[in-house]
Structure 1
Amino acid sequence: MKLTPGKLAGLKSVSDARGVIAAAAMDQRGSLQKSLAKERGAAADAHDLERFKLLVTEVLTRHASAILLDPEFGLPAAHQRNGKGLLLAYEKTGYDSATPGRLPDLLDVWSVRRLKEAGADCIKILLYYTPFEKSAINDLKHAWIERIGDECIAHDIPFFLEFVGYDAHGGDEKSLAYALKKPEIVSGSMAEFGKARYNVDVLKVEVPIEMSFVEGTRAFKGEKAYTRAEALQHFRDAETMTHKPFIYLSAGVSNPVFIETLELAAESGTKFNGVLCGRATWKDGIAIYAREGEKAFRDWLETTGVENISNVNEALKAATPWYTKFGATSLAELG
């Protein structure tokens, strides 16, 4: 695999000095708006989203290699990122629940060209995906990702693909039954989108287990899907599914659970290449912003938020530089 100049520059810009992606994520839109409104007991508007994102970006990018934002509410924040890299989301928030298959859609007035003009170093897409979905639905998703991959090639910018699994039969994704299926869902998705035809540069993946079902962990809640040894093997098995760089997402878990997850990944010997971590750093500040306002939220970010991201950075000492996936021993080797 050879990296083009634009792809190489983009990947460098979102990495730390070691070549590890230690990025913060702040591209939540619909879910963030609902959470703010729930905590406040009154509606949250576009201004709230812009200010929340700006404060998170301003404080946390001092301790991150990059920030993931959306172009709908995140562009003011993009100017306050302390010189760090910028990933911009290209998909609409959520999915159409009235249509089967959690089909995705792109933002109406944006293109890869426009996102790049807005300052993006990399493009990010979120896709709800399971290998167990009907082939007619997955075929639509495969073609959609192919188009985006080709668009990113045309504009020579890295393509980060985030896929989030779900139960194709409408089951509960927090259940034991889903936890047992999850390793195969994650591994199958990594195998699919690691294929050359999609032109994805970095896979943003879920961990292949549900921590609360791993016996022998602090996160364990009493119902077992896997022993600790089995969980470690699931990490290793997922890694074998792709030669592409991959990073973990925090999937909305608490900071202590995400840290323990990364510790488990490290213990397994998995050569992951970083994180794109959102809610595990700032989620607990939603109530502060909603009830106490901007100053209280900034104070919270400067203390607890910084502590949370510092915990993640400590756990990232176990990550492997992404350039090793290209057979390089240093960034300089790639140009």
Structure 2
Amino acid sequence: MSMKLTPGKLAGLKSVSTPKGVIAAAAMDQRGSLKKSLAKEKGVADLPDEALIEFKELVTDVLTQHASAILLDPEFGLPASKKRHGKGLLLAYEKTGYDAALPGRLPDLLDVWSVRRLKEAGADCIKILLYYTPYEKTAINDHKHAWVERIGDECRAHDIPFFLETVGYAVHGEDEKGLEYAKRKPDVVTGSMEEFGKERYGVDVLKVEVPIQMEFVEGTKAFKGTKAYTRAEALEHFRTSASSTHKPFIYLSAGVSNPVFIETLELAAESGTSFNGVLCGRATWKDGIAVYAKQGAKAFEEWLLSTGVENINNVNKALEAAHSWHDKVDVNG
């Protein structure tokens, strides 16, 4: 079944993809968490915004030479968007983090931005992050469903692709890095993909977590000794989540190390899923945070040119197994 894309959505998707229709995008829209990490490595309480802006510029300048697009935020990332070597631009539309005082990790949009304004700022695509689990209370998920519908309609009105990133979380009191949540994760990911693949939301590309936690997959290099799934079961979880939607979908790196992300993509390839690329952030540049904080911009740039480029090329190699989203949409409009 192929989706029909409007001309603007088709053009937007093409601009963030390789000519073959694979999304090989770098992600650099971290804000609050990145600021905290940089300050911690530097041993200070807070950093000026200029540091965040410079960090994003350096990452963008070096890594977009090896990526099909870059994801940035309009708060600190617009100067970096000028250094993207003609590659596609996705802009984030949500506020960073969530209000921990309220239940349900409810999302919020940036105050002085709209899809119209993001498009005027040069966005080829709009990206939203939503914390979501099918196990959450109905009232909370209803709130989230309506919120995504609104954004979907705004993107339809401006004929620009809508990337929805869903990140699961625990509502049963489990440790999100622990065994019990790892066992539940396949259902969280599959349920999220199933829900937001529905036409009413107007999502063009689902940016999803892999449906397993690598360190709990027996027989992988990432395995740490406690088993949630056999390798065969892990492969089956990939297939089940992939078959829950007809939409193009890409994997996020979720902050794991480069070797673990590469092995994850190898597992996805082995499972035969029709994933259409990645939006990969921390798995390429995370280890450079300490370099920038302790040694400054020049040292960080050198680190990016060697290790950063090596990391993204590892990802690109793993992406040889990705499928073209052209197979899922009517490319001839």
The TM tier, using the shorter chain, reads: over 0.9
- Give the corresponding residue for 2:252: 249
Deviation at 1:6, TM superposition (A): 0.4
- Give secondary structure in 1 for the equivalent of 2:163: strand
Match among 134, 138, 143 for residue 137 of structure 2: 134
Amino acid at match of 1:5: P
In 2, the alpha carbon distance for the partners of 1:297 and 1:186 equals 35
- Kindly provide the CA deviation profile for residues 235-274 of structure 1, in whole angstroms up to 9, marking residues without a partner as x: 0000110000000000000000000000000000011000
In 2, the alpha carbon distance for the partners of 1:54 and 1:69 equals 10
Question: Is structure 2 residue 79 aligned with structure 1 residue 81?
Answer: no
- Give the corresponding residue for 2:122: 119
Deviation at 1:17, TM superposition (A): 1.5
- Give the corresponding residue for 1:110: 113
Could you say which structure has the greater relative contact order, defined with CA pairs below 8 angstroms and 6 or more residues apart? Answer: 2
In 1, the alpha carbon distance for the partners of 2:129 and 2:86 equals 25
Deviation at 1:169, TM superposition (A): 3.0
Match among 233, 236, 239 for residue 233 of structure 1: 236
Please list, as runs of the form range in 1=range in 2, the aligned pairs for 1:298-313 lying within 5 A after superposition: 298-313=301-316
Deviation at 1:222, TM superposition (A): 0.3
Question: Is structure 2 residue 143 aligned with structure 1 residue 168?
Answer: no
In 2, the alpha carbon distance for the partners of 1:45 and 1:167 equals 33
Please list, as runs of the form range in 1=range in 2, the aligned pairs for 1:180-329 lying within 5 A after superposition: 180-326=183-329
In 1, the alpha carbon distance for the partners of 2:172 and 2:233 equals 25
With normalisation by structure 2, the TM-score equals: 0.98
In 1, the alpha carbon distance for the partners of 2:128 and 2:143 equals 15
Amino acid at match of 2:24: A
- Give the corresponding residue for 1:63: 66
- Kindly provide the CA deviation profile for residues 266-294 of structure 1, in whole angstroms up to 9, marking residues without a partner as x: 00001100000000000000000000000
Deviation at 1:2, TM superposition (A): 1.1
Higher mean C-alpha deviation, range 40-49 or range 118-127? 40-49
Unaligned runs of 5+ in 2: none
- Give the corresponding residue for 2:14: 12
In 2, the alpha carbon distance for the partners of 1:81 and 1:171 equals 40
Deviation at 1:171, TM superposition (A): 2.5
Deviation at 1:170, TM superposition (A): 3.7
- Give the corresponding residue for 1:22: 24
Please list, as runs of the form range in 1=range in 2, the aligned pairs for 1:40-51 lying within 5 A after superposition: 40-42=42-44, 43-51=46-54
Residues matched between the structures, number: 330
Deviation at 1:168, TM superposition (A): 1.3
Amino acid at match of 1:204: K
With normalisation by structure 1, the TM-score equals: 0.98
In 2, the alpha carbon distance for the partners of 1:33 and 1:294 equals 15
- Give secondary structure in 2 for the equivalent of 1:220: coil
- Give the corresponding residue for 2:33: 31
Deviation at 1:315, TM superposition (A): 0.1
In 1, the alpha carbon distance for the partners of 2:10 and 2:192 equals 25
- Give secondary structure in 1 for the equivalent of 2:79: helix
Alignment root-mean-square deviation, CA = 0.7
In 1, the alpha carbon distance for the partners of 2:173 and 2:143 equals 19
In 2, the alpha carbon distance for the partners of 1:334 and 1:300 equals 42
Unaligned runs of 5+ in 1: none
Amino acid at match of 2:122: G
